[in-house]
Amino acid sequence: MVERSSGPISSLYVHVPFCAQKCSYCAFFSEPSSGDVINRYVDALVREMESVSGDVKAETIFFGGGTPSLLNLAQWERILKAMSRLNLLGAAEWTIECNPATVSLDKARLLRDFGVNRVSMGVQSLNEALLDRLGRIHSREMVFKSFDILRRAGFENLNLDLMFAIPGQTMEIWRETLREATALQSEHLSSYEVIYEEDTALFGQLQAGEVREDEELACAMYEELVSHAAGAGFVQYEIANFAKTAGPSQTLPAFACRHNVNYWRGGAFYGLGPSATGYVRGVRTKNWSNTQLYCEQLERGKQPAESREQLAPIARAGETAAFGLRMVQGWPFDHFQAVTGFDLRKDWTPDMTALVNRGWGHLSPEGFKLTADGLRFADAAAQMFLR
């Protein structure tokens, strides 16, 4: 297995496990919390940053959640100043996720001043009744207002997250949301079909028969997404991700999320914060999904990892193959070999052939990728590559 990351690690994920209120569909590790708990988390996070900073030269940073924008100005100042002291500033791409209800001009300017240059905003829908049903804390007006604030603060790389196949969402409502969202002219768009995650309120409603899934409508909505995004000038580069602006063929669009591309291409990254996963020199770690325990461990000078796992090289390569197939480009054979040390043509030929025969895969002398149909069922296709 070729190790790409013998030098410092260039990618950093930070999980912020707080939300004002839990949305009905969401299974990410996050909970509503008070000032003291958040302050304690900030101190613990700074300690965890101290423990990895010597091994990081950040090219991409991503603060996800939860709702990173929920932290107040003073809490952000503490994090940003610590990052400055630890030489963690200066990433080429630095994203922070935000909820439209928690954006202010002061906060946006502070983040921009320290080098944050990309904001990913959770919009989900622009239909008031659906926002309510999803348990979102913001109105559609707040989306437009926050978008404007972010532009005024100088952000030139904005992403909007949308969801489709939401119970009660008709094709008409979906089209209207797509039309209004793309009219904002963000640089990036992510859109996922609703997943009924166990232990969520929405899952309970499905179990109780109060809502039902409509696979045919979900497929039609995905097709609408793909064609509408193309019409609005976006290039699809992953199943659920679209960015401006097209470059020469075979290259990614200019505003593709470099941080996520690193995941899909099997790159290394540190994951900090409760529940965060990391992948460094072939070892996968997962932090405790318990904020109090996470803080206690760091306060005692210990690492907050719940588990550490070193995968066999072929298993790592299989996972890397599966992740990379989410990308529209699929895997150029030489690229896969450079990352994993394995040749797709040797170990995965029966799987690629089966997918080609089903109309889900496209094989060329240079590489393998999923077709448009295959992308729709990428999870099932990717399963075949695991070893």
Ligand X SMILES: C[S@@+](CC[C@H](N)C(=O)[O-])C[C@H]1O[C@@H](n2cnc3c(N)ncnc32)[C@H](O)[C@@H]1O
**9, 12, 14, 26: which one binds ligand X (CB under 6 A):** 26
State how far the Cα of 141 lies from the Cα of 163, in Å rounded to an integer. 18
Q: Give the x/- contact pattern for ligand SF4 in 21-60, rule: CB under 6 A.
A: -xx--x-x-x------------------------------
| Inter-residue contact 25 to 197 (CB < 8 Å) | yes
Binders in 66-95 for ligand X, by CB under 6 A: 66-67
Nearer to ligand SF4, 21 or 227 (CB): 21
CA nearest neighbour of 218 among 255, 259, 169: 169
Nearer to ligand X, 146 or 340 (CB): 146
State how far the Cα of 240 lies from the Cα of 258, in Å rounded to an integer. 15
**74, 195, 219, 315: which one binds ligand X (CB under 6 A):** 195
Q: Using the 8-state DSSP alphabet, how is residue 269 labeled?
A: B
**1, 4, 20, 28: which one binds ligand X (CB under 6 A):** 28
**24, 99, 236, 297: which one binds ligand X (CB under 6 A):** 99
Binders in 238-257 for ligand X, by CB under 6 A: none
| Inter-residue contact 89 to 123 (CB < 8 Å) | no
Binders in 114-133 for ligand X, by CB under 6 A: 122, 124
Nearer to ligand SF4, 65 or 253 (CB): 65
**9, 12, 14, 19: which one binds ligand SF4 (CB under 6 A):** 19
Nearer to ligand X, 139 or 337 (CB): 139
Please report whether residue 25 would count as binding ligand X according to CB under 6 A.
yes
Please report whether residue 67 would count as binding ligand SF4 according to CB under 6 A.
yes
Residue 13's SS3 state is strand
Smallest gap from residue 66 Cβ to ligand SF4 (A) = 5
Residues whose CB is less than 8 angstroms from the CB of residue 80 and which lie 6 or more positions away in sequence, other chains included: 89, 110, 111, 114
Binders in 86-125 for ligand SF4, by CB under 6 A: 99, 122
Alpha helices in the chain (DSSP H): 35-52, 73-85, 105-114, 128-133, 140-152, 171-183, 201-207, 215-231, 258-264, 291-299, 313-324, 333-340, 344-347, 349-357, 372-376, 378-383
State how far the Cα of 298 lies from the Cα of 152, in Å rounded to an integer. 38
Count of residues binding ligand SF4 (CB under 6 A)? 11
Alpha helices in 278-348 (DSSP H): 291-299, 313-324, 333-340, 344-347
Neighbours of 207 (CB within 10 A): 11
Residues whose CB is less than 8 angstroms from the CB of residue 379 and which lie 6 or more positions away in sequence, other chains included: none
**114, 117, 161, 282: which one binds ligand X (CB under 6 A):** 161
Instruction: State the residues that interact with ligand X by CB under 6 A.
Output: 25-26, 28, 64-67, 97, 99, 122, 124, 161, 163, 192, 194-195, 197
Instruction: State the residues that interact with ligand SF4 by CB under 6 A.
Output: 19, 22-23, 26, 28, 30, 65-67, 99, 122
